[in-house]
């Protein structure tokens, strides 16, 4: 039996471990903490079937000036930290050119198209309760008719090219659908195909429980102790003692480049910090998650309360939290719903691992047989983990992959 160590028990790591296990591998899943308590825990809980095109960097002067002058809330940056981001951001900007972005999106859409079906397969096997997941989409509020018109044109193109389902809602229709809203702006787009999860960490934990029930081993360990054996294979220290395997999967999200540097790879990554916080609701609240397109946040009903998740913050890796975007989002949301006090004393802070070309890294490292990589999903690790985990497992077992793996090859960044 082939054996493998999977490093990282977020959505990407757990899903890869499950798919490898189902293909006959003996799998040890190793993390420094509990499954699904890092980046996979902090998102808006949306399995985004509509996200067939990854987020490009704006290239028009007006949008760039809005970011540069801090007038928007989607993106915030620390000026002193920008030198550490500039190389990756320039690559991101280059790949965001329309022609290059179309090429990227063609590959991206292939795995997004599998996202809900591959999640459903794992949900069924794991016995995920019905009240954890809804399958009726989410809404995107627009305060400007001009912006709503422009996004409707985009939505119609996505429906034509990719079959994405949506519905445009008038202010009255939005008010009927969300009676807890105090204001409905110019209306909304209702993205119909996406699924929403009331506790993202609980879904990852359910998949991890399934992995253990089916014979997998879940261990605490430090990925930094990973080393290649002279005769082939890898070894790692865990809380239960040393662990060895013929192969290893690096699914450490934003911490993956740091580990790979020890193997001689310098992997560029766009690290976007983001915050969330839960709030009590004193009125009717929201039925479905709502993205406020003007203020760059998502408000999502969760088991803990109404969760606000923010856009991207570019800061130093060890910079202290500065939840300025969260404060602006909270103020904007209070104008929409009857929001109570925060549930947590301090906000949650995490990092999204985005690659400069917006595509995850999936495949074998160029110079190390048996060293497999599965990270860099950007904003969509929660959405894509099961689909890309399947793709990785197919590659590792020599099966015909469900989608062309070439665009995701590690060689494009592992110099």
The model's pLDDT over 160-176, given as tens digits with 9 standing for 90+, comes to 999 999 999 999 999 99
Say how many C-beta atoms besides its own lie within 10 A of residue 376's C-beta. Answer: 30
**What is the pLDDT at residue 289?**
98
For residue 84, is pLDDT > 80? Answer: yes
> In the CATH scheme, what is the homologous superfamily, with its name and number, of domain 1-56+96-134+196-269+355-415?
FAD/NAD(P)-binding domain (3.50.50.60)
Query: Do the beta carbons of residue 112 and residue 51 sit within 8 Å?
Result: yes
The model's pLDDT over 92-120, given as tens digits with 9 standing for 90+, comes to 999 999 999 999 999 999 999 999 999 99
Say how many C-beta atoms besides its own lie within 10 A of residue 156's C-beta. Answer: 13
d(CA 141, CA 292): 5
The model's pLDDT over 245-304, given as tens digits with 9 standing for 90+, comes to 999 999 999 999 999 999 999 999 999 999 999 999 998 999 999 999 999 999 999 999
Mean pLDDT of 126-142: 97
For residue 135, is pLDDT > 80? Answer: yes
Residue 349 in tokens: 């802070």
Question: Phi, psi at residue 164, to the nearest 5°?
Answer: -70, 130
The model's pLDDT over 317-340, given as tens digits with 9 standing for 90+, comes to 889 999 999 999 999 999 999 999
306 - beta bridge partners?
279, 301
The model's pLDDT over 348-383, given as tens digits with 9 standing for 90+, comes to 999 999 999 999 999 999 999 999 999 999 989 999
- Residue 82 pLDDT level (bands cut at 50, 70, 90): confident
Q: What is the pTM of this model?
A: 0.95
**Cβ-count burial 292-312 (b if 16+ within 10 Å, e if not):** bbbbbbbbbbbeebbbbbbbb
Percent of the chain predicted with pLDDT > 70: 100
For the chain, domain boundaries: 1-56+96-134+196-269+355-415
- Residue 231 pLDDT level (bands cut at 50, 70, 90): confident
**What is the pLDDT at residue 182?**
96
Query: Do the beta carbons of residue 341 and residue 263 sit within 8 Å?
Result: no
**What is the pLDDT at residue 81?**
86
Percent of the chain predicted with pLDDT > 90: 87
d(CA 75, CA 248): 35
**What is the pLDDT at residue 352?**
93
The model's pLDDT over 17-52, given as tens digits with 9 standing for 90+, comes to 999 999 999 999 999 988 988 878 889 999 999 999
**What is the pLDDT at residue 278?**
97
> Mutual orientation of helices 381-397 and 115-126 as an angle, nearest 10°?
90
């Amino acid at each position: 039996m082939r054996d493998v160590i999977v490093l990282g028990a977020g959505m990407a790591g757990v899903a890869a471990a499950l798919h490898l296990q189902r293909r006959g591998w003996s799998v040890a899943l190793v993390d420094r903490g509990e499954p699904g308590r890092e980046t996979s825990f902090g998102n808006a809980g949306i399995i985004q079937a509509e996200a067939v095109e990854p987020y490009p960097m704006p290239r028009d002067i007006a949008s760039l000036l809005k970011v540069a002058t801090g007038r928007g809330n989607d993106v915030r940056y620390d000026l002193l930290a920008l030198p550490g981001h500039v190389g990756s951001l320039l690559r991101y900007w280059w790949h965001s050119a329309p022609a290059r972005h179309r090429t990227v999106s063609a590959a991206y859409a292939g795995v997004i198209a599998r996202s809900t079906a591959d999640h459903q397969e794992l949900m069924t096997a794991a016995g995920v309760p019905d009240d954890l997941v809804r399958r009726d989409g989410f809404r995107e509020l627009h305060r400007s008719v001009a912006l709503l018109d422009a996004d409707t044109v985009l939505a119609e193109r996505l429906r034509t090219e990719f079959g994405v389902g949506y519905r445009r809602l008038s202010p009255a229709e939005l008010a009927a659908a969300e009676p807890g809203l105090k204001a409905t702006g110019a209306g909304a787009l209702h993205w119909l195909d996406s699924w929403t999860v009331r506790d993202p960490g609980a879904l990852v934990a359910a998949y991890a429980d399934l992995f253990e029930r089916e014979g997998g081993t879940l261990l605490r360990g430090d990925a930094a102790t990973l080393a290649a054996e002279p005769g082939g294979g890898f070894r790692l220290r865990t809380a239960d003692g040393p662990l060895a395997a013929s192969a290893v999967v690096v699914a450490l999200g934003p911490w993956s480049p740091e580990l790979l540097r020890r193997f001689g790879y310098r992997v560029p990554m766009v690290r976007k910090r983001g915050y969330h916080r839960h709030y009590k609701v004193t009125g009717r609240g929201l039925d479905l998650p709502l993205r406020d397109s003007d203020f760059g946040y998502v408000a999502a009903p969760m088991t803990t309360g109404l969760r606000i998740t923010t856009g991207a913050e570019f800061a130093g890796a060890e910079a202290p939290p500065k939840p300025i975007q969260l404060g602006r989002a909270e103020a904007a949301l209070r104008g929409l719903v009857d929001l109570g006090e925060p549930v947590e004393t301090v906000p949650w802070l995490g990092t999204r691992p985005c690659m400069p070309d917006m595509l995850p890294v999936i495949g074998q490292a160029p110079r190390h047989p048996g060293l497999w990589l599965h990270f860099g999903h950007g904003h969509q690790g929660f959405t894509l983990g099961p689909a890309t985990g399947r793709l990785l497992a197919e590659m590792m077992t020599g099966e015909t992959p469900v989608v062309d793996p070439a665009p995701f090859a590690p060689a494009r960044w592992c110099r």
